Chains A and B, each alone.
Chain A
Amino acid sequence: MNADKLRIGDKTFNSRLFTGTGKFRSNKEMEDALTVSGSELVTMALKRVDVDNSEDDILVHLPKAKFNWLPNTSGVRTAKEAVFAAELAREALDTNWIKLEIHPDPKYLMPDPIETLLAAEELVKKGFVVLPYIHADPVLARRLQDVGVQAVMPLGSPIGSNKGLRTDDFLRIIIEQADVPVVVDAGIGAPSHAAYAMELGADAVLVNTAIAVAKDPVQMANAFRIAVDAGRMAYHAKLGVASSQANASSPLTAFLD
Chain B
Amino acid sequence: MSFTEEIENYSWSTVKEQIYSKTADDVRKALSSNQPNLEDFQALISPAAAPFLEEMAQKSQALTLQRFGKTIQMYAPLYLSNECQNICTYCGFSLDVKIDRKTLSDEEILNEVSVLKSYGYDHVLIVTGEANRTVGVDYFKNAIRLLKPHFSHIAMEVQPLDETDYRELIEEGLNTVLVYQETYHKENYKKHHPKGKKSNFNYRLDTHDRMGRAGIHKMGVGVLIGLEDWRTDSFYAAAHLDYLEKKYWQANYSISFPRLRPCAGGVELKSIMSDRELVQLICAYRIFNQEVELSMSTRESESFRNNIIKLGITSISADSKTDPGGYANPNVNLEQFEIHDKRSTASFIQAIKDQGYEPVFKGWDKVLQ
Contacts and interface: CB of A to CB of B under 8 A. Distances in A.
A89 B26 CA distance: 51
Contacts of A251: 54
Interface residues of B, number: 24
Given A244-B55, A250-B54, A252-B54, A176 B31 contact: no
A252 B31 contact: no
A247 B57 CA distance: 11
Interface of A is mostly: loop
B35 interface: yes
Interface in B4-39: 28, 31-35
B303 A177 contact: no
- Place the interface of chain A in its size category: 10 to 19
A176 B311 contact: no
A177 B291 CA distance: 14
Contact of B249 (A142, A242, A246, A247): A142
Contact of A241 (B34, B55, B311): B34
A251 B58 CA distance: 9
B113 interface: no
B133 interface: no
6 contacts: A176-B35, A247-B58, A251-B54, A253-B57, A253-B276, A253-B279
Contact of A242 (B32, B52, B303): B32
Given A176-B35, A243-B28, A247-B54, A252 B311 contact: yes
B166 to A, nearest CB: 19
Contacts of A179: 246
Contacts, number: 44
B53 interface: yes
B153 to A, nearest CB: 24
B307 interface: yes
B57 A255 contact: no
Interface string A216-257: 000000000000000000000000011110110011110110
B34 A252 contact: no
A244 B35 CA distance: 15
Interface of A: 142, 176-177, 179, 241-244, 246-247, 250-253, 255-256
Contact of B307 (A242, A243, A244, A255): A255
B208 interface: no
A207 B35 CA distance: 28
Contacts of A255: 303-304, 307
B310 to A, nearest CB: 7
B59 A252 contact: no
B25 to A, nearest CB: 10
A89 to B, nearest CB: 31
B246 A252 contact: no
Given A247-B54, A250-B54, A252-B310, A241 B32 contact: yes
Contacts of B279: 253, 256
A130 B262 CA distance: 56
Nearest to A245: B55
A103 B67 CA distance: 36
Contacts of B32: 241-244
A-B CB proximity, top 3 nearest: A252-B57, A250-B54, A241-B32
A179 B58 CA distance: 32
B276 A244 contact: no
A255 B28 CA distance: 24
Given A246-B52, A252-B310, A256-B279, 8 more contacts: A177-B249, A179-B246, A246-B55, A247-B54, A252-B307, A253-B279, A256-B275, A256-B276
B61 interface: yes
Given A243-B32, A247-B54, A252 B249 contact: no
Interface in B278-309: 279, 303-304, 307
A186 to B, nearest CB: 25
Contacts of A176: 35
Contacts of B34: 241
A255 B311 CA distance: 12
A247 B55 contact: yes
A192 B68 CA distance: 37
Q: Considering residues B58, B59, B303, which has the most beta carbons from chain A within 10 angstroms of its beta carbon?
A: B58
B58 A252 contact: yes
Contacts of A242: 32
